[in-house]
A and B are shown apart, each in its own frame.
Chain A
Amino acid sequence: MTANDRDPAIELRDVSKTFRVAHKKGRVRRGLREVVAVDDISLAIERGSIVGYIGPNGAGKSTTIKMLTGILVPSSGQVRVDRLDPSRARLEVTRRIGVVFGQRSQLWWDLPLRDSFSLLRHVYRVPGPRHQENLDRFVELLDMAEFVDVPVRQLSLGQRMRGELAAAILHDPTILFLDEPTIGLDVVSKEAVRRFLIELNRERHTTVLLTTHDLADVERLCERLIIIDHGTVIEDGTVADIKERYGTERTVVIDLDQPSVPLTVAGTEVVRIDGPRQWLRFRRADTTAAAVVAAVAEQADVRDLTVDEPEIDDIVRHIYQASR
């Protein structure tokens, strides 16, 4: 098989997924209602990229991932993963992808992690030496040495999730799907997971599609961000692009020599005062940070100043609100 590196790793063409769900109509009668979980999505993801796939709850993220991994058959449209249709060539696709659902486990509950890994080695028929090599590397990168021999049921969530991650990639998949892999994790584990993903991507060019509610994940990991809501893509671009486009408001934080009345600078608004420190918010369309600083310097003695970049959190919240 000659995989053309130009081919996208993942491709969706006009993909929709509709669920028929029962709902109550009064006490006895029940009706069927159609829920369009994914509504005509088209997108392509390049090999070797880490892409954040985000959206509010119920946006259709998990449904998309389930179609890409062969769990669900799309209602219409075409899905390609490594050029294969997961619903037709499911077994073949499973060899090329790794999957982690943050809320599910694929480990053997009553057995130590190491045993789960070794079972997966047989399931995926990974040659022994390659397995050992991977295992050593992952144990080191994910800092698992302390607990690989403990039964999974006794692991903490953070430890287990690191195990899940290793389990998902022991067979050297080229594409990794992660559905909320950091949900419920402590800060240390979150960081371990992120560092690991960066390392994996750098070392092996693994393509990663990741959903998350923690935008710190996105900021740390993703070049590209796809935002969906109500089953459709509402934003798609690099993280910098999106900040640029939506970060229309910035804030200059100024430390004055001494407390002062609210500063008046054209095009800005003082949003907060704390002793000698003042926060001036402005719209990019109206003025620039340099102009604001210059105007302030004319009115008072400035000790120090910083310009707050827009937080991705705020931007995304803003985008969600706009789409409602």
Chain B
Amino acid sequence: MPLRIYGHLVAAKTRADFQYRTSFFLYLASQTLISFADMVVVLILFTQVSSIASWSRSQVLFLYALSGIGFGLADLFISQVGLVSRHIKAGTFDQFLLRPLGALWQLSALEFAPRRAGRAVQPVIVLAVILPALDVQWTPVKVALVPITVVCGAVIFGAVWVTASSLAFYLVNSQELANSFTYGGSFLTQYPIDILGPWLRRFFTFAVPLAFVCYFPAAYIVDQPLPESIPSWFSFAAPVIALASVVVARALWRLGIRHYRSTGS
């Protein structure tokens, strides 16, 4: 969808949301608070121990920041796709197929919720504070890897969101299932994925590639060893994984749309 049209639609939605101002600001606050709480959890855990899976507090906060920004971006721009399940149930998904724009981008624009911007606030602050505090010999590669990781992380999260939401075309109540991969993924990626048992770790590396969101690249940046079975180039594979995830998500979404059955009157 051309950016200008997207902008117009988002602006309209924002204007409409602003009519409920009090609620809007409270919601914004709650979104900010959620990611703040995630950070507080990390801080609390580190009052009890000095490392988690050999990662130090600043290293885990670095993960938190990368994951939080990536997730925040995906939450702001893509998570609206989760609402497809509600539109399908109500039969209102029809309208998205009647306009000359991709249904996914329409959902993203028409259900845009500016309050979700709150999600990324805390992680951005943490990143700004933690980067200088990290005990890292910065090289050009490491420096470049930070923004690349954030962008690829957002893309992978977005692809997971779209893939999981495509289920809605087949299963009536898939939104909650989708949540376990999206919100669950956000929770998971804040920690070194090494802490999972071997099976779950493999699952989140090869099936739902959340380990590439920040764990693998961050491990390279902060000089943490990867788990034994993982080749070291995985730290740089995020762009490829992101691209592949998008291809898969896009195909499944389109397939889903062809299965859309609307509702009988």
Q: A53 at the A/B interface (Cβ < 8 Å)?
A: no
- On chain B, which size bracket covers the interface? 20 to 34
Contact of B94 among A57, A66, A90 (CB under 8 A): A66
The smallest beta-carbon distance between B169 and chain A, in angstroms, is: 12
> A111 contacts B260, CB within 8 Å?
no
Report A92-127 residues with CB < 8 Å from chain B CB.
Answer: 92, 94-95, 99, 101, 103-104, 106, 108-111, 115, 119, 122-125
The smallest beta-carbon distance between A104 and chain B, in angstroms, is: 7
> B258 contacts A119, CB within 8 Å?
no
> For the complex, what is the distance from the CA of A90 to the CA of B258, rounded to whole Å?
11
Q: B229 at the A/B interface (Cβ < 8 Å)?
A: no
> A71 contacts B262, CB within 8 Å?
yes
> B101 contacts A91, CB within 8 Å?
yes
User: Which residue in chain B gives the minimum CB-CB distance to A19?
Assistant: B261
Contact of B98 among A58, A69, A119, A125 (CB under 8 A): A69
> A73 contacts B94, CB within 8 Å?
no
For A69, what are the chain B residues with a Cβ–Cβ distance below 8 Å? 97-98
Contact of B15 among A101, A109, A111 (CB under 8 A): A111
Q: B137 at the A/B interface (Cβ < 8 Å)?
A: no
For A92, what are the chain B residues with a Cβ–Cβ distance below 8 Å? 100
For A73, what are the chain B residues with a Cβ–Cβ distance below 8 Å? 258-259
Q: A62 at the A/B interface (Cβ < 8 Å)?
A: yes
The smallest beta-carbon distance between B140 and chain A, in angstroms, is: 42
For A62, what are the chain B residues with a Cβ–Cβ distance below 8 Å? 264-265
> A104 contacts B5, CB within 8 Å?
no
For B92, what are the chain A residues with a Cβ–Cβ distance below 8 Å? 104
Asked whether A123 and B12 contact (CB < 8 A) given A72-B260, A104-B92, the answer is no
Q: A70 at the A/B interface (Cβ < 8 Å)?
A: yes
> For the complex, what is the distance from the CA of A109 to the CA of B100, rounded to whole Å?
20
The smallest beta-carbon distance between A197 and chain B, in angstroms, is: 19
For A94, what are the chain B residues with a Cβ–Cβ distance below 8 Å? 97-100
Q: B8 at the A/B interface (Cβ < 8 Å)?
A: yes
> A119 contacts B12, CB within 8 Å?
yes
Asked whether A111 and B94 contact (CB < 8 A) given A66-B262, A72-B262, the answer is no
> For the complex, what is the distance from the CA of A192 to the CA of B171, rounded to whole Å?
42
The smallest beta-carbon distance between B128 and chain A, in angstroms, is: 36
Q: B21 at the A/B interface (Cβ < 8 Å)?
A: no
> For the complex, what is the distance from the CA of A256 to the CA of B122, rounded to whole Å?
92
> A106 contacts B95, CB within 8 Å?
yes
Looking at B8, B12, B19, B102, which has the most chain A CB atoms within 10 Å of its CB?
B12
> B95 contacts A108, CB within 8 Å?
no
Contact of A119 among B8, B260, B261, B262 (CB under 8 A): B8
> For the complex, what is the distance from the CA of A111 to the CA of B8, rounded to whole Å?
13
Report A65-98 residues with CB < 8 Å from chain B CB.
Answer: 66, 69-73, 87, 90-92, 94-95
> B97 contacts A70, CB within 8 Å?
yes
> For the complex, what is the distance from the CA of A106 to the CA of B265, rounded to whole Å?
17
For A66, what are the chain B residues with a Cβ–Cβ distance below 8 Å? 94, 262
Asked whether A124 and B100 contact (CB < 8 A) given A19-B261, A73-B258, A119-B8, the answer is yes
> For the complex, what is the distance from the CA of A53 to the CA of B183, rounded to whole Å?
47
> A123 contacts B99, CB within 8 Å?
yes
> For the complex, what is the distance from the CA of A173 to the CA of B10, rounded to whole Å?
25
Residue interface bits B2-33, CB-to-A below 8 A is 1, else 0: 00110011001001100100000000000000
For B101, what are the chain A residues with a Cβ–Cβ distance below 8 Å? 91, 123
> For the complex, what is the distance from the CA of A124 to the CA of B5, rounded to whole Å?
9
> A108 contacts B265, CB within 8 Å?
no
For A70, what are the chain B residues with a Cβ–Cβ distance below 8 Å? 97-98
Contact of A111 among B16, B91, B99 (CB under 8 A): B16
Identify the A interface with B (CB < 8 A): 19, 37, 57-58, 62, 66, 69-73, 87, 90-92, 94-95, 99, 101, 103-104, 106, 108-111, 115, 119, 122-125
Identify the B interface with A (CB < 8 A): 4-5, 8-9, 12, 15-16, 19, 91-92, 94-95, 97-102, 258-262, 264-265
Known A69-B98, A104-B95; 14 more pairs at CB < 8 Å: A19-B264, A66-B262, A94-B99, A104-B91, A104-B92, A104-B94, A106-B98, A110-B19, A111-B12, A115-B12, A122-B4, A122-B5, A122-B9, A123-B100
- 9 nearest CB pairs, A to B: A110-B16, A94-B100, A122-B8, A71-B97, A95-B100, A122-B5, A91-B100, A73-B258, A106-B95
